[in-house]
Amino acid sequence: MFQKILVPTDFSKHSQHILECITELSSQKDVVLLHVIQRSPLSRAWDPASEVEKANEMIEKQKLYLQSLRFNVKTRVETIMEGDISKVIQKVADEENATLIAMGARGKGMVSGLLLGSVSKNVLLYGQTNLLLMRYKVLEGENLGRFCRSLFTRVICPTDFSQPAKEVIDFVSTIKGVGEIGLQHVVASGESDQQIDAAVRDAAGKLNDIAREIEKPDLKVRVHVQAGNAPEEISRLADREDASLIAMSSHGKGWVEQMTVGSTTYETARISNRPILVVRAEKKA
């Protein structure tokens, strides 16, 4: 599935929960734990030595936890004077050849009303590595065990029928343990009700064709077509179907070369109550 996973950690209870959830994600059981220390803007003089020492002690505890689960674990503690922590995360992902970054949607500095923290937002927007964003509503309470044990049990795969979206569907359909895939297309607009109805029928036909291609005795595939705002409809369907995960490509048909993530993917990640897996689409030469 994913050969090596990079897990940025801030040592909060939520980052610990993420460690408990990644056991299903790595086929090779290789994990890199990363903690980034950034100088406080209020500090005139900064000697990070004591902070690094404390961070190494805390990250060692998380390393031991994963090693008890038979993971191969490497730890890294990075310091930056200023700048964007998300850039450090992507730099380490590149250096370690990570195939997935797994992190919470928000970190220690959670502000009520924010749906996506600044670090996770920037990793999503500007990163190049596949990304799993775990929602804190999932990481808290009695639902934790259920989601961690069944992250891929019921997956919603939105599609705009582009090649990147098809590749995500094909990828998810091959993951061991996936019991149900919900194929979804959202008709965003039409000049008349007749045009919208025609687009819905056309989309349903295409989705049924895809469903027949990937359905297996142990894999149930359901088809969903809605008309409306794509991110909102995706989020609603995931809640209604009690999806364990939303899996979508970073880009769709409206690929703009300068953008590292499409607007539909970004907005879905921002508003969804469910974990979301963003599979980075490869740029065509």
Q: What is the DSSP letter of 107?
A: -
- The band of 110, judged by pLDDT with boundaries at 50, 70 and 90, is very low
| 17: pLDDT strictly greater than 70 | yes
Amino acid identity of residue 234, one-letter, is I
Q: What is the pLDDT of residues 68-88, one digit of tens each?
A: 989 999 999 999 988 889 999
What is residue 111's predicted lDDT score, i.e. its pLDDT?
40
- For the domain 2-141, what is the CATH code? 3.40.50.620
Return the amino acid letter for 219: L
Q: What average pLDDT is seen over the chain?
A: 85
pLDDT at 280: 92
Domain(s) of CATH 3.40.50.620: residues in the chain: 2-141, 150-279
CB 243 within 8 A of CB 275: no
pLDDT value of residue 256: 46
Residue 26's pLDDT band (cuts 50, 70, 90) = low
Query: Residue 231 — very low, low, confident or very high, per pLDDT cuts 50/70/90?
Result: very high
Checking if the pLDDT of 190 tops 80, the result is no
pTM, two decimals, is 0.89
Residue that wins the pLDDT comparison between 115 and 8: 8
Percent of the chain clearing pLDDT 70 (strictly above): 83
Give percent helix, percent strand, percent coil of the chain, each to the nearest 5. 40, 25, 35
Domain covering 150-279, topology: Rossmann fold (3.40.50)
Q: Are 77 and 55 in contact (CB under 8 A)?
A: yes
Residue 165 has pLDDT above 90, yes or no: yes
Residue 23 pLDDT: 73
* Arithmetic mean of pLDDT, 17-46: 80
Whether the pLDDT of residue 254 is over 70: the answer is no
Range scoring the smallest mean pLDDT among 7-11, 13-17, 193-197, 238-242? 13-17
With contact defined as beta carbons under 8 Å apart, do 274 and 243 qualify? yes
